[in-house]
């Protein structure tokens, strides 16, 4: 039995790392479906955990009750609400299962992953596991950089704003920001608090950070750049509040100056390489009331002209229109329409009595969640996030400082991204729920409650 458990735990670790590597890649580019990793990870994590009294004893269950009860209640609410308001029950149940139940199961698997593995590998620490996971996620960034070098050698030009390893620039920027957030927090903690968590040397972390910044410039997404700067300032503010001492004022001010300089450099690079900034205000004003017969909603229609006399940039103007019309629809249907992968498209076509609308979604995660699940669903989601945030804050202030900080920053960063991008679906939500569950599980481990390692 011990050999079997050891073998299964080894498979669990390998499948987890493989999943983290392929997660952002489209299934069409893989020789297999991602679910071939996801469901074994869920089954092995939960199976190894619940069949081991030792693993169950490692988790401080009282800390987990609120988020688990909230997750369970929200899962049931989304289904029950959908049964009353969904126009197509089959579509609703399929979307609920794929877009919510699977992430919820991954959240649970993340919580129990480490104690399940440690029953077979007692020396496999939280820091080591998380380091391997970060490196696995970073593999996609490495491939993108190598692919860019190859394309430059082949074509003689840099392919700005293009990516072949993932579906689009948004997915790549999300991946970059997620990994960069952990690396920045780790580096700042080492510099200001003399604490560490990731099992990588500082020069290696610096190299990873540099590669991520280069990849950010290559991908060329505005919200990705803004998110990177926001994560940098968030980590700095949290660490400064936690560790403010007079003796470190000079060091803290020096790091702040470096952060401001780096942020200014990123902002300048984005301004120079992305012409969309120049017409942002004019395009947003034009797009706010863009007609449904325009390019924003029908990809074969005409592009509205801004007050500068030029066709508005669709990213600037259409996003303003989607924000405007999306929230109007949320207020029009406060109970939502039930889980549906293209709720925005469906509601517009239905209300306008047409089938010409081609835009699939509103590009805003929170709006899409509201269109599907109503204001009660939004409230439930925010309560779940608040529970995760509270666990992170409590451990950041009174226990596992590094893990708590990672959980805090990750939760805040993901929520912030839902305000500007549609990330409450597919692998975005799956990754977030799994990593959040993993960090919460690490916070709840009995033997980690004594505090973080020093350097």
Q: What integer pLDDT is reported at residue 450 of this predicted model?
A: 41
226-235, 281-290, 292-301, 422-431: which range is least confident on average? 226-235
Q: What is the DSSP letter of 195?
A: B
Report the predicted TM-score, pTM, of the whole model to 2 decimal places.
0.91
pLDDT of the residue at 273: 60
Distance CA 17, CA 133 (A): 6
Integer Cα distance of 183 and 137 in angstroms? 12
* pLDDT recorded at residue 447: 59
User: Could you tell me which residues come within 8 angstroms of residue 394 by beta carbon, excluding any fewer than 6 positions away?
Assistant: 404
Q: What is the pLDDT of residue 242?
A: 65
pLDDT reported for residue 246: 45
- Cβ-contact 174, 244 below 8 angstroms: no
Rounded to 10 degrees, the C-alpha dihedral 161/265/416/322 comes to: -50
Which tens digits make up the pLDDT trace of 148-184? Answer: 999 999 999 998 888 889 888 888 989 999 999 999 8
**What pLDDT digit, counting tens, does each position of 11-35 carry?**
999 999 999 999 999 988 888 899 9
The answer to whether 200 and 247 are in contact (CB under 8 A) is no
CA atoms within 13 A on the CB side of 1: 4
Q: How much helix, strand and coil, in percent to the nearest 5, is found in the chain? A: 75, 0, 25
In this prediction, residue 274 carries a pLDDT of 62
Q: Does 453 have pLDDT greater than 50?
A: no
Taking residues 215-239, report their average pLDDT.
73
Give the Cα separation of 391 and 72 in Å (integer).
Answer: 18
pLDDT of residue 218: 87
- Give the integer Cα–Cα distance in Å for 23 and 18: 8
Paired with 311 in beta bridges are 305
Strand-pair partners of 454: 195
Band of pLDDT at residue 125, cut at 50, 70 and 90: very high
Let me know: does 133 contact 110? Beta carbons within 8 Å: no
How do the domains of the chain map onto residue ranges? 2-272+364-448
For the ranges 53-57, 133-137, 179-183, 443-447, the maximum mean pLDDT occurs at 133-137
What's the confidence (pLDDT) of residue 271?
60
Distance CA 132, CA 128 (A): 6
């Amino acid at each position: 039995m011990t050999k079997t458990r050891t073998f299964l735990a080894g498979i669990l670790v390998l499948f987890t790392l493989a999943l983290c590597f392929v997660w952002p890649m489209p299934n069409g580019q893989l020789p297999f479906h991602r679910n071939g990793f996801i469901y074994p990870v869920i089954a092995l994590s939960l199976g190894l955990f619940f069949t081991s009294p030792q693993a169950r004893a490692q988790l401080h269950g009282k800390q987990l009750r609120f988020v688990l009860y909230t997750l369970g209640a929200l899962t049931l609410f989304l289904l029950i609400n959908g049964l009353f308001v969904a126009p197509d029950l089959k579509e609703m149940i399929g979307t609920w299962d794929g877009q919510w139940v699977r992430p919820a199961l991954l959240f649970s698997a993340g919580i129990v992953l480490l104690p399940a593995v440690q029953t077979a590998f007692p020396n496999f620490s939280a820091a080591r596991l998380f380091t391997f996971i970060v490196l696995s996620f970073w593999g996609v960034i490495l491939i993108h950089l190598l692919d860019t070098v190859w394309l430059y050698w082949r074509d003689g030009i840099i392919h700005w704003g293009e990516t072949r390893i993932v579906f689009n620039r948004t997915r790549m920027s999300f991946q970059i920001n997620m990994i960069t957030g952990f690396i920045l927090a780790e580096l700042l903690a080492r510099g200001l608090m003399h604490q560490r968590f990731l099992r990588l040397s500082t020069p290696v972390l610096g190299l990873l950070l540099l590669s991520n910044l280069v990849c950010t410039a290559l991908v060329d997404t505005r919200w990705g750049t803004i998110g990177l700067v926001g994560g940098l300032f968030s980590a700095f503010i949290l660490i400064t509040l936690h560790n403010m001492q007079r003796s470190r004022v000079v060091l803290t001010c020096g790091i702040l100056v470096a952060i401001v300089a780096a942020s200014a450099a990123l902002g300048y690079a984005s301004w120079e390489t992305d012409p969309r900034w120049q017409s942002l205000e004019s395009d947003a004003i034009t797009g706010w009331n863009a007609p449904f017969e325009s390019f924003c909603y029908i990809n074969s229609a005409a592009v509205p002209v801004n007050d500068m006399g030029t066709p508005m940039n669709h990213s600037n103007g259409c996003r303003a229109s989607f924000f405007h019309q999306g929230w109007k629809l949320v207020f029009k249907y406060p109970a939502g329409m039930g889980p549906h992968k293209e709720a925005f498209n469906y509601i517009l076509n239905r209300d306008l009595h047409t089938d010409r609308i081609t835009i699939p979604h509103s590009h805003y995660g929170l709006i899409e969640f509201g269109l599907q699940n109503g204001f009660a669903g939004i409230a439930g989601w925010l309560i779940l996030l608040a529970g995760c945030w509270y666990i992170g804050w409590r451990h950041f202030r009174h226990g596992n400082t590094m893990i708590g900080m990672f959980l805090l920053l990750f939760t805040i960063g993901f929520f912030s991204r839902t305000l500007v991008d549609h990330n409450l679906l597919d692998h975005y939500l799956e990754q977030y729920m799994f990593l959040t569950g993993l960090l919460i599980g690490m916070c709840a481990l009995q033997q980690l409650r004594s505090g973080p390692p020093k350097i």
